[in-house]
Amino acid sequence: MVDDVTRRVGRANPTTEGIEATGERAAPRSVGIWLLVVAALVFAMVVLGGVTRLTQSGLSIVDWDPIMGAFPPITQEQWGEVFAEYREFPEYSEVNDGMTLREFEEIFWIEWAHRFVGRLIGLALIIPTLWFGIRRAIGRRLFVRLLAIFGLVALEGVLGWFMVASGLVDVPRVSPVRLSAHLVLATIIFGTILWTALDVLLPRAGPPGSKQRRPRSGWALLGFILLVMVSGGFVAGTKSGFAYNTFPLMGGRVVPEGLLRYDPLWDNFLENSATVQFQHRILAISLFVTVLAFAVLLLRRSPERRVAIAVWGLIGAALLQVTLGVSTLLLEVPTALAAAHQACALALFGIALFIFHESGEAEPPPNPAPPHGDDVDEDSELVAV
Ligand code: HEM
């Protein structure tokens, strides 16, 4: 990646109507801008998801109704009904015994808003996809890709409910595995939408039908960030941020006591706060060092201006992320700081993705496409819905 981004690769003119490097007709800029807006919505949704968890609001709506659930209770009687349903589940008796209706309304609205923005993202994705498709403003490949992303959004909704359902049992705490899976899928959705927007707004140049080759180190960095996010999801899911609130030592030691005290061994990585937090610290600091090394190597090769700016952004985001992580820990997980820590993780991922996108280099097609349109490949046809 380091080598490739520094080569000043030619860029296709995004305003040009015609065939771009993928062999598909270039989509209008409005498509790219719309996708950036949806990516921003997903970003906001991830932060709202964090706030939902941090305010312990996530288990306040105890059923899943994708359509009718969009309508919140209005009358006093309806509020009474949803509160009565909530009181039947263990979170009420175990955690919120004696909660008033007014207090319940507060956590209800947060969870409702989280689900509502989820629905909004689904609609904000599918309606314009169909609209652009019917008007043949986008090519077949892009259309199919957008439908696939919509499928991921729908899956995220199902996974969200699967996560909530794990907390509606005797122990009112959602499964850390499901929480992390929900976070990872949200990050993948954010990444694929952002990537698609960049494909449209900043298409890479190359002969018709050519593919973009990207260095493996870019995948590795994105994978590493995702891995650290998963480990953070486990810290959040096991509430390990409320233990060992010192840095850099844990319980006065570099390696905390009882690191592997659970049997079987793998249980430590799922349940043992010492292990879960220790691994997040180790992975996070390793990521920080990797990002710095990566950035220095990139900057030393005088990349394009916008890539250089992004690399400085990556350094800043990594620094901020570690500062937010340590502060969240020392101050015992205040909502605002923990939510900012989650947001910054996604920003770090997004910036790395941008740099990776810009590292594309055209790989000539095995059989060069014919110069004129008689024999146009099926994929390059405009989509007809
Ligand atoms: C670049 C490095 C880092 C990344 C990408 C990262 C990422 C994350 C993510 C995604 C979460 C989950 C948030 C959630 O689900 O709500 C998290 C949680 C957490 N992280 Fe990090 N983190 C990093 C560095 C650190 C550092 C250095 C510390 C402190 C030593 C730290 C402490 C925590 C704590 C205490 C939580 C749990 C907060 C909560 O309960 O909401 N993180 N991290």
pLDDT number for residue 369? 54
Q: Is the CB of 137 under 6 A from ligand 1?
A: no
| 36 and 177 share one domain | yes
Q: What digits encode the pLDDT tens for the residues 239-261? A: 999 999 999 999 999 999 999 99
Predicted TM-score (pTM) of the model is 0.89
Bridge partners, residue 310, by sequence: none
Residues 33 and 137 in one domain: yes
For residue 3, is pLDDT > 60?
Answer: no
Q: Which atom of ligand 1 is nearest to the CA of 326?
A: 29
Q: Is the model more confident about 208 or about 335?
A: 335
Choosing from 242, 279, 280 the residue with most ligand 1 atoms within 8 A of its CB, the one to mutate for a pocket test is: 280
Whether residue 270 lies inside any domain: the answer is yes
Higher pLDDT, 245 or 216: 245
Whether ligand 1 lies within 6 angstroms of the CB of 333 is answered as yes
The pLDDT score that the predictor gives to residue 20 is 41
Domain match, 116 and 51 both = yes
End position of a domain, from candidates 202, 219, 237: 202
Tell me the HSE value of 252 on the side-chain side, using a 13 A CA sphere: 0
Residue 247 identity (one-letter amino acid): F
The model's confidence at residue 14, banded by pLDDT at 50, 70 and 90, is very low
Mutate to test the pocket of ligand 1, among 53, 341, 353 (most ligand atoms within 8 A of CB): 341
Question: What is the CA(284)–ligand 1 centre distance, in A?
Answer: 8
Structure confidence at residue 310 as a pLDDT band (50, 70, 90): very high
When the pLDDT of each residue in the chain is averaged and rounded to a whole number, the result is 88
Does residue 234 fall inside a structural domain? yes
- Ligand 1 pocket member 280 (CB < 6 A): yes
Residues 228 and 198 in one domain: no
Residues 185 and 297 in one domain: no
Sign, CA dihedral 77-78-83-88, equals positive
Spatial separation of the C-alpha atoms in residues 377 and 287, rounded to whole Å: 43
E strands, the chain, in order: 211-213, 361-363
Cα separation, 173 vs 159, in Å, equals: 16
- Read off the DSSP letter of residue 378: G
Q: Are residues 58 and 99 in the same domain?
A: yes
Alpha carbon of 221 to ligand 1 centroid (Å): 17
Distance CA 143, CA 149 (A): 10
Cβ–ligand 1 contact at 352 (below 6 Å) = no
CA of 345 to the centre of ligand 1 (A): 8
The verdict on residue 384 lying in a domain is no
Give the pLDDT of residue 173. Answer: 84
3-state secondary structure of 362: strand
**Residue 242 Cβ contacting ligand 1 at under 6 Å:** no
Return the residue whose CA atom lies nearest to atom 40 of ligand 1: 236
* Length reported for the chain: 385
DSSP 305-358: HHHHHHHHHHHHHHHHHHHHHHHHHHTT--HHHHHHHHHHHHHHHHHHHHHHHT
Q: Which domain holds residue 262?
A: 210-364
The pLDDT value recorded for residue 63 is 87
Q: 157 and 46 in one domain?
A: yes
Clarify whether residues 233 and 308 are in a common domain.
yes
In this prediction, residues 249-276 reach a mean pLDDT of 95
**Ligand 1 pocket, 184 CB below 6 A?**
no
Instruction: Tell me, yes or no, whether 379 lies in a domain.
Output: no
Q: What pLDDT does residue 23 have?
A: 53
pLDDT above 90: residue 65: no
Q: How far is the CA of 7 from the centre of ligand 1 (A)?
A: 35
Evaluate whether residue 19 is within a structural domain.
no
pLDDT at 85: 93
If you average pLDDT over residues 30-37, what whole number do you get? 97
pLDDT at position 1: 55
Ligand 1 pocket check for 35: Cβ under 6 Å: no
238 with 197, same domain: the answer is no
Q: Encode pLDDT of 111-138 as tens digits.
A: 999 999 999 999 999 999 999 999 999 9
Interval between CA 328 and ligand 1 midpoint (Å): 8
What is the mean pLDDT of the segment spanning 207-220?
Answer: 83
Best mean pLDDT range from 43-52, 202-211, 302-311: 43-52
In three-state secondary structure terms, 382 is strand
- Final residue belonging to a domain, choices 174, 202, 230: 202
For residues 82-106, average pLDDT? 92
Are residues 187 and 42 part of one domain? yes
The total domain count for the chain is 2
- Per-residue pLDDT for 165 more than 70? yes
Do residues 222 and 116 both lie within one domain?
Answer: no
Using the 3D structure, point to which of 202, 230, 252 is the last residue of a domain.
202
Name which of 297, 295, 251, 307 is nearest 274 in CA terms: 251
**Six-digit token string for 315:** 């350094």
Position 268 scores a pLDDT of 96
Contacts of 340 (CB under 8 A, 6+ apart): 324
Residues 254 and 177 in one domain: no
Q: Is the CB of 9 under 6 A from ligand 1?
A: no
235 Cβ inside 6 Å of ligand 1? yes
